[in-house]
């Protein structure tokens, strides 16, 4: 005979009251696996391009720690942003607003993984990389999530740095420091982030407005956002080519990055031109989708070259 039958979820304002409801899958969802996969990929490329040698076991540990650190940042982001996640259609089904995991559980999970990943990286690889990873987590959680995201439309411009650090962290795992080459990898992702997220914000503007997040289209309007997308896409074109300019990628990469950058710019021009109706939405969706392809292909080309040269 049961004394008290527990309800599946106890929620107030979409936040779970009871703990111990989450499945393993819910905890994995807290790590933002799709963001994690991009972090793993860019970090791996950074590691492969770095001069020097790292034992394969330590290389795997490095990538694992960077991935766990990124996942921990995601969990802490969901801990802090549960209130706004609950009102946005894109994020309403995340574990906390869905009432599967409490905020306290997400906080504990995120902090444990943050500390664990930084300490493991420090003990196994080097303390410079560990400190850099700790700074990246701090930057994403405190600077972006807790401070910038709710206070300025420049949130993803500055906050984008957090997503751009992983290849630099991976580079420092090999070399123990940072260099102009790793800064170039950072710069590519850093300049790619604003047009990528503003394209998303254009077709999810209602969501951000409802949640009170001051994304550029909400605060400055869609015209200003389209102008900014165009400016950043223009700036991204030469930056994508920089690995060739700095001599750590071939001329073939330079031509490839230039062609992809022109395609990116072309789609940004389409977004700038089509301002109303279904065509405007389609243009923004197309740019958003292509931006993912752009970043993946650029880093994939760099990776392929490093593998061919190393072989």
Partner 1 sequence: MAEDKTVLPDGVRLTDAQQKRRRGRSIAIACALGALVVLFYVVTIVKMGPEIMSRPL
Q: How far is the CB of 79 from partner 1 (least distance, A)?
A: 18
Nearer to partner 1, 100 or 149 (CB): 100
Q: Which of 34, 55, 90, 93 binds partner 1 (CB under 8 A)?
A: 55
Which listed range, 21-29, 229-237, 250-258, 267-275, lies at the site for partner 1 (CB under 8 A)? 21-29
Instruction: Verify binding: residue 69, partner 1, rule CB under 8 A.
Output: no
User: E strand or H helix at 15, and its extent?
Assistant: strand 15-16
Cβ partners under 8 Å of residue 275, min gap 6: 222, 223, 226
Q: How far is the CB of 64 from partner 1 (least distance, A)?
A: 8
Q: Which of 40, 61, 84, 200 binds partner 1 (CB under 8 A)?
A: 61
Instruction: Verify binding: residue 308, partner 1, rule CB under 8 A.
Output: no
Q: Which of 13, 53, 57, 278 binds partner 1 (CB under 8 A)?
A: 57
Q: What is the DSSP string of 251-274?
A: HHHHHHHHHHHHHHHHHHHHHHH-
Nearer to partner 1, 8 or 278 (CB): 8
Q: How far is the CB of 192 from partner 1 (least distance, A)?
A: 33
Q: How far is the CB of 6 from partner 1 (least distance, A)?
A: 6
Question: Could you give the CA distance from residue 280 to residue 43 in angstroms, rounded to a whole number?
Answer: 34
SS (H, E, C) 32-86: CHHHHHHHHHHHHHHHHHCCCCCCHHHHHHHHHHHHHHHHHHHHHHHHHCHHHHC
Binding track over 120-159 against partner 1, x by CB under 8 A? x--xx-----------------------------------
User: E strand or H helix at 113, and its extent?
Assistant: helix 103-124
Q: Which of 6, 90, 93, 281 binds partner 1 (CB under 8 A)?
A: 6
Give helix 166-175 / helix 180-203 axis angle, nearest 10°: 160
Give helix 56-80 / helix 33-49 axis angle, nearest 10°: 150
Residue ranges in contact with partner 1 by CB under 8 A: 2-6, 8, 20-24, 27, 55, 57-58, 61, 120, 123-124
């Amino acid at each position: 005979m049961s004394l008290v039958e527990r309800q599946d979820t106890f929620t107030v304002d979409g936040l779970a009251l009871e703990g111990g409801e989450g499945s393993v899958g819910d905890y994995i969802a807290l790590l933002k696996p799709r963001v994690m996969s991009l972090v793993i990929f860019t970090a791996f490329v950074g590691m492969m391009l770095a001069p020097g040698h790292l034992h394969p076991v330590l290389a795997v540990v490095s990538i694992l720690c960077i991935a766990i650190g990124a996942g921990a940042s995601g969990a802490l982001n969901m801990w802090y942003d549960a209130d706004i996640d609950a009102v946005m259609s894109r994020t309403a089904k995340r574990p906390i607003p869905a009432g599967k995991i409490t905020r306290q559980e997400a906080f504990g999970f995120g902090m444990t993984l943050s500390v664990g990943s930084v300490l493991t990286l420090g003990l196994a690889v080097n303390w410079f990389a560990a400190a850099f990873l700790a700074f990246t987590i701090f930057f994403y959680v405190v600077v972006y999530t807790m401070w910038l995201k709710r206070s300025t439309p420049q949130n993803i411009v500055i906050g984008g740095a957090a997503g751009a650090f992983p290849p630099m962290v991976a580079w420092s795992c090999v070399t123990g420091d940072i260099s102009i080459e790793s800064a170039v990898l950072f710069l590519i992702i850093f300049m790619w982030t604003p047009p990528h997220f503003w394209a998303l914000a254009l077709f999810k503007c209602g969501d951000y407005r409802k949640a009170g997040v001051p994304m550029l289209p909400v605060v400055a309007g869609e015209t200003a956002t389209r102008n900014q997308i165009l400016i950043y896409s223009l700036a991204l074109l030469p930056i994508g080519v920089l690995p060739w300019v700095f001599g750590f990628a071939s001329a073939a990469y330079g031509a490839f990055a230039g062609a992809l950058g022109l395609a990116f710019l072309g789609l940004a021009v389409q977004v700038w031109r089509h301002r109303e109706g279904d065509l405007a939405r389609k243009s923004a969706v197309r740019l958003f989708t292509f931006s993912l392809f752009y970043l993946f292909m650029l880093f994939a080309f760099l990776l392929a070259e490093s593998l061919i040269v190393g072989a």
